Amino acid sequence: MAVGPGEAVTAPLVRDLRRLTDAVREAEPMARHTTFRIGGPADVYVEPEDRDRLVAVLDYLTARGVPYQVVGQGSNLLVADAGVRGVVVSPVKALRRLDFEGRRARAGAGVLLTQLAHAARRRALAGCEFAVAIPGTLGGGLFMNAGAHGSSLAAVVAAAEVWTPERGVVRLPAAELGLSYRHSRLWEAGWVVLEAWLELEPDSGEAITARMRHVVAVRRRTQPVGHPNAGSVFKNPPQDYAGRLIDAVGAKGWRVGGAEVSSLHANFINNRGGARAADVLCLMRRIRAAVHREYGVILRPEVRWVGPPAGGEGTTWENLWCREDAGWPEPCA
């Protein structure tokens, strides 16, 4: 979706967007919108006030071929230092609905996962406890099938309403979302979640609270919380853990610029102050090269790249990180 400066963003485009929604900002620093606190400016940043305006913006951008990215809380993103060409659309304000009917929850994509977990607990409904310590929104969580402690959204989502470039707004059963380990069909199809229906199980409030407290305690004990980060950097390979492998090659404490591999959990990279996306990429490449050299395992990114191709023109994030060759290039200059 990347374009050269000035190719997509024009004064008439900005005027049109402001007719659709009041919340339009130019040259908006993306570091304000990611948990990494990293990222250059988006040409245009749009945060529609409600669902109708959000759909209108997506329809408009699609009809005119304007490149765009949809970004929620930014909890699993690494945004390029050069920023984002085109338009960044935030659905968070527009999609905050959260209702319950019996054991079923209906939640907008802008609802925080922590908010969803606590709301279910208050109604003595189980199934979302794993999400209480996951930063981010339901929409972003579905995009990558967020999970922890042996569960994920795939276990509780029954259906979702999504916006599609081809058909507009459609409701789909969970089976058509293609939810798997840190992946969904939403990724390839360019679909945007508007809301989802979750099937939960009745349980005692005390039991649910105890499980949630356990999840929070484990997070505080095993994951860094004092510095900005984007959560797990790499996916776990089959029958193993990325953190274990990274720790085994001695990567804890490796540092490039303001980015540092956490000394508490090796699969986290912290922004210790002033880190650039280039610093994080450099560390990721060094980690990946060391693990492949020592164990023959190719680590694949869980964090999602937003910006120009990370490996140069014509190179996508996926083929940069997921190719199967052993000839990984030099980590960085």
Q: Which domains does the chain have, with CATH numbers?
A: 11-89 (3.30.43.10), 98-207 (3.30.465.10), 242-322 (3.90.78.10)
For the record, the structure tokens of 63 come out as 């009809």
pLDDT tens per residue across span 182-239: 889 998 888 999 999 999 999 999 999 999 999 999 999 999 988 999 999 999 999 9
Residue 8: per-residue pLDDT: 65
Quote the pTM value. 0.88
Residue 61: per-residue pLDDT: 96
Q: How confident is the model at residue 333 (pLDDT cuts 50, 70, 90)?
A: very low
Average pLDDT, rounded, for the chain: 90
State the catalytic residues. 182, 232, 302
pLDDT tens per residue across span 90-133: 999 999 999 999 999 999 999 999 999 999 999 999 999 999 99
Which of 2-6, 27-31, 179-183 shows the highest mean pLDDT?
A: 27-31
Residue 310: per-residue pLDDT: 55
Flag whether pLDDT at 327 surpasses 80. Answer: no
